[in-house]
Structure 1
Amino acid sequence: MKVLIVGGGGREHAIAYCVAKSSKVEKMYCAPGNAGIAELAECVPIGAMEFDKLVTFAKEKEIDLAIVGMDDPLVGGLIDEFEKAGIRAFGPRKNAAILEGSKAFSKDLMKKYDIPTAAYENFDNADEALAYLETAKFPIVLKADGLALGKGVLICNTLEEAKAGVKEIMLDKKFGASGNTMVVEEFMTGREVSVLSFVDGKTIKTMTSAQDHKRAKDGDQGLNTGGMGTFSPSPFYTKEVDEFCRKYVYQKTVDAMAAEGREFKGIIFFGLMLTEDGPKVLEYNARFGDPEAQVVLPRMKNDLIDVIEACIDGTLDQVDLQFEDNAAVCVVLASDGYPVAYEKGLPITGLDEFKKHEGYYCFHAGTKFDGDQIVTNGGRVLGVTAKGATLKEARANAYKATEWVQFDNKYMRHDIGKAIDEA
């Protein structure tokens, strides 16, 4: 079959890596792709939000399956456009992708169907939000309602910080129209865990757990980013947590979406907080996480195409989803200055080293070709991933592999997976 992947980051590279392993796939395209994906697929210069061009390309090339990796095109309705054109596509339709596209929607859904989450209020008027904050308990969390590249969440310790946050989100529109509505949420404490899942509208199959590191600097300091590294599985995701979430979170979410007339087919990413009062949902995403995909997908035993087709066809209940009994750690190599300002176009060396070692991966996030040379082309440049028999071994392997790659302004956190040592 011919496959088209939409996106150009580390997540899409991890998806492409799995798709390339499938015996069913004879040709793969990626739009727009990156320098790493180009080794596996033919990259085409079409942006993820250029829906008409993507549909036209898919029809011209007689694409059998389109896989949409990114949140923006999913929330914008790209799956609907592919389906209208008669192209099989993987991901939630627009009316289901709202699960990620609107935090206010997802919070209201959880309240209505009794899915455990933090207490909250939604506001579309800044003055009303400010009045509410005058009586609120701190710290408190402010969230822009819509998509904001994982950065539209502010943790405010004081009323002054919260007032500044309302100004930033709702008045200055730092995150654009995503800030037209704002969620004010109770601050929860505990371990964060990510659980990705495949969904076919009625059946849900969870993948192995993971944990992301969002802050730019060691010790969870600095600004929020799209993710500086991750590890899988999480030692904090115990059998008891899994049983609780299966009973009160996972299937209930799928059933709630169906009951609302928003059948969900694709990936649901559950961001969980393990609080003293039990697991609660921090957030939903409607696609593979980035960089969570980089540690979860390499550990999956199944043919990804088989699982994706089962989700589209509604036959996921017949799939025995399996993962290797090992661990993986991903360390993001970024350009110094990310997520604010950073240089692009810096030559990268050492990438060939990964081809010599089993269980080591270098997923490209922000790279491109400058002639024959691969250069940096984003804040997050590479996701250096390694497996190991244990999390500690995987972590040591991943950090060893970061030394193989060099580029000017190379920056990384040195404590990805440090929580492993405390588990």
Structure 2
Amino acid sequence: MKVLILGSGGREHALAWAASRSPRVTEVVCAPGNGGIGQVARCVPVDMKDVAAMLRLAEAEQPSLTIVGPELPLSLGVVDAFRERGYRIFGPTRDAAQLESSKAFAKQFMKRHQIPTANYAVCTTGKEVEESIKHFHAPVVVKADGLAAGKGVIICPTRQFAIDAAHGLFSGELLGVAEKQVVIEEFLEGEEVSFLCLSDGTHVVPLVPAQDHKRIGEGDTGPNTGGMGVYSTSDMLEPTMTEWILHHIAEPTVRGMAEEGAPFVGVLYCGLMMTARGPQLLEYNARFGDPETQAILLRLESDLVDALEACIDGSLAETEMRWSQGAAACVVASSSGYPGSYKTGLPITGLSLAAQIPGVEVFHSGTTRVGSQLVTSGGRVLGVTAEGDSLEEALSRAYEALAQIHFEGMYYRHDIGHRALKQPRR
């Protein structure tokens, strides 16, 4: 088999690494890929905003299977276009991907299908925001309706702050694109859990859960990012809680999408808040998370390609996924200044030393190759990922590997997994 992976980040590097381990796979091609992905796949250029260009690439490469990494091509209908041409592709159609591409659609869908979530209002004008905000206590959450690369969620300490934030989204001042709708949402408190599942449009199989660290600063302070680190352990959720989430959130979502004529085939990512009133769904993603995928796939013992093909074939119920006990953790090394402005083109050293540490895989998010030298090319540069019998061991290995790596201004959090380490195991 030849496998084509669309995307260029740490998630795609982890997917390429996992696909290359399948005994059925003879070649992995990644488009556009990055400097590190070139170690496990052949990288070829493509524009992620151009469905026709991705189709031309498929015609040239003739992959047996295509895996879509990022959300943008899904929202543009790349799966619909590939399917029409007879290519086997893993991911949801444009209509099914609305669960991620429109926050308003997702919240209204949750309400229709009685999926537990925060109280909300969908507003199309500033005046509607001012009226709706009266029904919410501060702090309140304001969300852009469309895709915003992790920057469309604003936690507002006062109602006036929320009104101003909504006006900034409508005007385009905050994100550079004017939103036609915004979502006002009740602020929920609790522990966040990333609950990812595979779906073939009818059946749902959970992956192991993970917890992401979105904020740039130690102790979960400072602005939100695309994710500064993540961990996954075998005791994060009790089996009864996993069953509850499947029964009340994941399965009703897949059933509801099928009933509404947009069967969901792909990865259903449920971003949950574990509150005093039980798990509440914050949002959906319609693809693998980044950096969750790096930690999750390190724990996968069965064949990823078999599972993804079962989703396409509608035979997921007959597929068993096997996971290692213990833990995995990913710590992101970022450029100085991220998530704001940052320098690129900085040489990276120490990667071969880091890779020699047992249980460690270094996944590249923002690197490129200049001659024989790997240099930085993004805000999140590397996802240093490790597995171990315990979370403490996995984190110790990841931080030991990070100590070997250097580029100018390299920044990473030293407290990934801090909530789990300070608490008795559930």
Q: Which TM bucket (shorter chain)?
A: over 0.9
Q: What residue in structure 2 maps to residue 231 of structure 1?
A: 231
Q: What residue in structure 2 maps to residue 113 of structure 1?
A: 113
- The number of residue pairs the alignment matches comes to 423
Q: Distance in 2 between matches of 1:339 and 1:413?
A: 14
Task: Tell me the SS of whatever aligns to 2:136.
Answer: coil
Matched residue type, 1:329? A
Q: What residue in structure 2 maps to residue 26 of structure 1?
A: 26
Matched residue type, 1:279? P
Paired residues of 1:191 and 1:275 also in contact (CA < 8 A): yes
Q: CA deviation at 1:150?
A: 1.1
Q: Distance in 1 between matches of 2:284 and 2:276?
A: 21
Paired residues of 1:200 and 1:312 also in contact (CA < 8 A): yes
Q: What residue in structure 2 maps to residue 180 of structure 1?
A: 180
Query: Is residue 307 of structure 2 the alignment partner of residue 307 of structure 1?
Result: yes
Matched residue type, 2:103? K
Q: Distance in 1 between matches of 2:378 and 2:234?
A: 28
Q: CA deviation at 1:176?
A: 4.5
Matched residue type, 2:80? D
Paired residues of 2:338 and 2:379 also in contact (CA < 8 A): yes
Q: Distance in 2 between matches of 1:239 and 1:408?
A: 44
Moved more, 222-231 or 351-360: 351-360
Matched residue type, 2:24? K
Q: What residue in structure 1 maps to residue 374 of structure 2?
A: 374
Counterparts of 1:236-247 in structure 2, within 5 Å, are 236-247=236-247
Q: Distance in 2 between matches of 1:31 and 1:243?
A: 37
Tell me the alpha carbon deviations over residues 12-59 of structure 1, each in whole angstroms, 9 at most, x when there is no partner.
000000000011111211110001100111111112222212111211
Task: Tell me the SS of whatever aligns to 2:383.
Answer: strand
Q: What residue in structure 1 maps to residue 387 of structure 2?
A: 387
Counterparts of 1:74-153 in structure 2, within 5 Å, are 74-153=74-153
Q: What residue in structure 2 maps to residue 154 of structure 1?
A: 154
Query: Is residue 195 of structure 2 the alignment partner of residue 195 of structure 1?
Result: yes
Q: CA deviation at 1:235?
A: 4.6
Matched residue type, 1:296? I
Moved more, 31-40 or 392-401: 392-401
Task: Tell me the SS of whatever aligns to 2:141.
Answer: strand
Q: Distance in 1 between matches of 2:171 and 2:263?
A: 34
Task: Tell me the SS of whatever aligns to 2:14.
Answer: helix
Q: Distance in 2 between matches of 1:123 and 1:240?
A: 37
Q: Distance in 2 between matches of 1:234 and 1:416?
A: 17
Tell me the alpha carbon deviations over residues 150-203 of structure 1, each in whole angstroms, 9 at most, x when there is no partner.
110001111232122112211234234472211101000010000111100000
Q: What residue in structure 2 maps to residue 269 of structure 1?
A: 269
Gaps of 5+ in 1: none
Tell me the alpha carbon deviations over residues 329-382 of structure 1, each in whole angstroms, 9 at most, x when there is no partner.
110000010011100000000111244233101000000011110000000000
Residues 90, 133 of structure 1: alpha-carbon distance in 2 compared, 3 angstrom cutoff = same
Q: Distance in 2 between matches of 1:179 and 1:422?
A: 41
TM-score of the superposition, structure 2-length normalised?
0.97
Gaps of 5+ in 2: none
Tell me the alpha carbon deviations over residues 77-127 of structure 1, each in whole angstroms, 9 at most, x when there is no partner.
111111122211110011101111111111111111111010101011122
Residues 208, 64 of structure 1: alpha-carbon distance in 2 compared, 3 angstrom cutoff = same
Paired residues of 1:144 and 1:178 also in contact (CA < 8 A): no
Paired residues of 1:349 and 1:405 also in contact (CA < 8 A): yes
Matched residue type, 2:274? L
Q: CA deviation at 1:133?
A: 1.8
Q: Distance in 2 between matches of 1:293 and 1:54?
A: 23
Counterparts of 1:244-393 in structure 2, within 5 Å, are 244-393=244-393
Matched residue type, 2:78? L
Tell me the alpha carbon deviations over residues 267-310 of structure 1, each in whole angstroms, 9 at most, x when there is no partner.
00111110100111111100000000000011111111100110
Task: Tell me the SS of whatever aligns to 2:97.
Answer: helix
Matched residue type, 1:245? I
Q: Which runs of at least 4 in structure 1 moved beyond 6 Å after TM superposition?
A: none
Q: CA deviation at 1:263?
A: 0.3
What is the CA RMSD across the aligned residues, in angstroms? 1.3
Q: Distance in 2 between matches of 1:282 and 1:45?
A: 35
Task: Tell me the SS of whatever aligns to 2:209.
Answer: strand
Q: Distance in 2 between matches of 1:131 and 1:421?
A: 43
Q: CA deviation at 1:236?
A: 4.5
Q: Distance in 2 between matches of 1:320 and 1:12?
A: 23
% of aligned pairs identical? 45
TM-score of the superposition, structure 1-length normalised?
0.98
Q: What residue in structure 2 maps to residue 409 of structure 1?
A: 409
Matched residue type, 1:94? R
Task: Tell me the SS of whatever aligns to 2:205.
Answer: strand
Q: Distance in 2 between matches of 1:127 and 1:281?
A: 27
Paired residues of 2:329 and 2:391 also in contact (CA < 8 A): yes
Paired residues of 1:387 and 1:394 also in contact (CA < 8 A): yes
Q: Distance in 1 between matches of 2:98 and 2:398?
A: 35
Q: CA deviation at 1:421?
A: 1.5
